[in-house]
Structures are given as C-alpha cells and as structure tokens.
Amino acid sequence: MPVEEYLCSKRKKYIKLALRESDYIFLRANKSDTDAILDLMKISYYTEEPTYTALQIEDPKISLEGASRSLAEGLSYVARCRVNMMGVLWGASINCTSNPWDPDLKEKLACSVQDPKLRQLFLFYAHIQRAPNLFKCFNVQKVYEIECVFVSPEHRYRGIAAKLIELSRNLGRDCGYKIIRCDATSAFTPTKNDYNEILNLMEKTYCKDEPTFKTLNIENPIQFLDLTTKYLQEGLSYVAKCKNDGKIVGAMINTEYTKVKREQRLKILQDPQYKKLLMFNEHTENLIDLSRVYGDYVEKIFQIKFAFIQKEYGQKNITGNLAIHVRNFAKQSGYRFIITVTTSSYTAAVAEKLNFKKIVQIPYKDLVGQDNKPLFNTEYPHLMFRVYILDTVNI
C-alpha cells in the first residue's frame, strides 16, 4: 500500500506525541521554587546520581541543605511545562559560586558528620573542587559553578538538561565570571568535550568517506560540523563507546524533523562549497514532501541524519546496534515515524535489516545540477540514494 494511502487510513487514530524542548519554559529560579526543586531533586537526582547510588546514601538531608544555600544565590534555572497551566516544574540546574576556601569548608563538614558514607562523599567533593586549582591557574577569587542538573524521568531525552546547562553557562558569562565550571559525575551530562570528540570522529570518518561528501572535496568542513552541533544539542543522538577506555568509536546523529527547523538549520551552510549538498537536500525534500504526505497527522518526525564509526570497528555491527537503540528510543519517546535518507549502500543495508520501508530510490547519476552534470560522482557500491521510513507501531 502506498505511504499516502496507509497514512490516510490511520488518520483517525490517536498518536501520543512527545514534548520537546520548545514545549517547556525555562526561567530563573526564585525563592518560591525552592521546595519544589528540592522535592524533585530527591526523586530525580539522589536516586540516580552515580556517587550517591554507589555509596547507597539513603538520607540526603545535609546535601539538600547545601542545595538550598546554592539556590539562595539566585543563579539557578528551572524548566516548566508550557502546556500545563499549573506550570509544573520538571527540571532544574542548581548553580552557585565557589571561593578558594570552599574545599576546606567541605573537609570540615566531612569531619563533622557521623555517617561514614557522607563523610567519604564530602571528602570526594572537596578533592575534585580543589584538584584543578582554578583560582590560582586563572587568578580569580570566584568561579561560577553549574553544581547539579536533573530532570524528571518522564521528561528526559527532550533536550531539557542541555538547555538548562546552556542558559546557566550564558548567565555565568553575562554576570562577568571568567571561569564557568561543570563537574559531570554522570555520563549523561552533556559536555562540550563529548561534542568535540564526536565532531573530531565525524571529520575523520564521515567527512572523508561518506559518498556525497567525499565528492565535494571540502577541506575545512567547519560549517557542516556547526550544523551537526545543532543536532547534538537536541539530545536525540547516540554514541558507541569502547568499554576498555571509554573513547567514542561511533555515533548516530538524529534530529526532530520539522520543515521550519530544517530551513533554519541549513542556513548555517553559507559557504559556496556546500551548494551541491544544499541542492541535494532540496531535491530529496521535494521527493518525499513530508508536509504533503503527513499533513497535520504527525506534527514531528524522528529523523536519523548521519551515522559514522571508526574504520577499525567497521565489522563489529556497531551501526546496526546504534540503529536498534535509536529506533527503540524514538518509539519510547512517542514518535510514530522514523525517517532516514541513506546515501551509502552500507547504511541502506542496516535500514532494510531493521525493516525500514523503502519509499524512494534514485541513482546518483540522475541527480544533475543546472549545468546538466551529475551533482555527485560516487563510486561503487554507492551508486544510489534511498529514503526509508519506519512505523514504530510495527516494532
């Protein structure tokens, strides 16, 4: 059955759409928010934060008192649901300032508590606060700290934590702090270092080996990497890390597809060297015409944009495993349809193995520019591009 007919037959069924970053309001926390933030912190932070769970600390009362003092500085942010009239709080970033003598105060606090687990925890925090010696290295007396970030479990994977960190960082900069610090005790805390590692891997692999990109001979793909950073900030992407050293060996970059967002993203590619790539994007957009096919039936669609892995890991089915995790994540997040444009025969094979339905297949030689010459002179076996779609109901 054609995709259009299938969709029309399903129009009357209710689809549960996940909220995204745009469906939340991000505000500076005020005094009246303190109790709600601390209550959320008990549920969403202390029950899952690695250092607390490793020590099996049952009563975080002293830590909550510290968090309350940090909130009193007025530098924190909260995330509220835009569609809920009550403005329920679903996430927060507790920020504060630190001074050179703060590690000593933490050590004194550690010595004063009776619980050996809490004592160990506070000594650890004193150590990591002192270790970088930021005050001496940068000749400052105060450092802006993004102390802890947490989001209610049912509202995760929607870019809320990343947005809270971004706003907190900007506030620290606007307040004139020379140094902004964020200690990531959780692997899920989005950090700039993670982005840099992903982008470095992408530049070495995707930008050199991907069939369409390879023919463009782009020496400095900085604008394309900036575009990828925008996708990463949505919080929908997945990475594969080596168990031995924790290095990223592969990634699948994903985005939430909307026509407006697509147009905003592609404005980043202003360099003339991307002209053919933009023409290709426009061509594939016209072919699948998602707005015509889906109409108002599905407001947002999950799209797999790029996939890449280190060459030495090419035979370990990392791309396939990433795709399985991404597929399941998209379904759990409430997306009905997943779409991907495969420019490589390898990624096309992965899509078909996972039962994606092919709706478009066109040889590259048929894609011509204004000069009637092919846009891309790809090599075998990458002789055509394909568009796949997956209905998550069938997973």
10 falls within a domain: no
Q: Are residues 201 and 169 in the same domain?
A: no
Q: Are residues 198 and 75 in the same domain?
A: no
Burial class (CB in 10 A: 0-12, 13-18, 19+), 305: middle
Q: Look up the CATH number of the domain holding residue 63.
A: 3.40.630.30
Pairing between β-strand 89-98 and β-strand 77-81 as defined by DSSP bridges: antiparallel
Q: Are residues 47 and 151 in the same domain?
A: yes
How many angstroms separate the CA atoms of 51 and 42, rounded?
Answer: 14
Q: Are residues 197 and 170 in the same domain?
A: no
Looking at residue 229, its pLDDT comes to 86
12 falls within a domain: no
Q: Tokens 């016209």 sit at which residue? A: 286
247 falls within a domain: yes
Give the predicted TM-score (pTM) of the model. 0.56
Structural domain that includes position 374? 192-394
78 falls within a domain: yes
383 falls within a domain: yes
Q: Are residues 204 and 303 in the same domain?
A: yes
DSSP assigned state of 368: B
Q: Are residues 232 and 292 in the same domain?
A: yes
Q: Are residues 375 and 249 in the same domain?
A: yes
96 falls within a domain: yes
Asked which of 182, 214, 249 is the last residue of a domain, the reply is 182
Per-residue pLDDT of the chain (395 residues; tens, 9 = 90+): 333 332 233 222 222 333 455 678 999 999 999 999 999 999 889 888 888 877 888 888 999 999 999 999 999 999 998 776 466 899 999 999 999 999 999 999 999 998 898 898 899 999 989 988 899 889 999 999 999 999 998 887 677 888 899 999 999 999 999 999 998 877 665 555 578 889 999 999 999 999 988 888 887 888 888 888 888 877 788 888 887 777 899 999 998 877 666 666 667 677 777 888 878 877 776 666 555 555 555 567 899 999 999 999 888 899 999 999 999 888 877 788 899 999 999 999 999 999 999 988 999 998 887 788 888 889 999 999 999 999 888 88
Q: Are residues 368 and 227 in the same domain?
A: yes
Using alpha carbons only, what angle is made at residue 255 by residues 318 and 169, rounded to the nearest 5 degrees?
105
Q: How many structural domains comprise the chain?
A: 2
Q: Are residues 64 and 212 in the same domain?
A: no
Asked which of 158, 182, 206 is the last residue of a domain, the reply is 182
Q: Are residues 199 and 345 in the same domain?
A: yes
Looking at residue 262, its pLDDT comes to 64
How many angstroms separate the CA atoms of 165 and 349, rounded?
Answer: 38
DSSP assigned state of 235: T
Asked which of 163, 182, 201 is the last residue of a domain, the reply is 182
91 falls within a domain: yes
149 falls within a domain: yes
Q: Are residues 133 and 164 in the same domain?
A: yes
Looking at residue 295, its pLDDT comes to 54
Q: Are residues 287 and 376 in the same domain?
A: yes
Output the DSSP codes for 35-80: HHHHHHHHHHTTTT-HHHHHHT----HHHHHHHHHHHTTS--EEEE
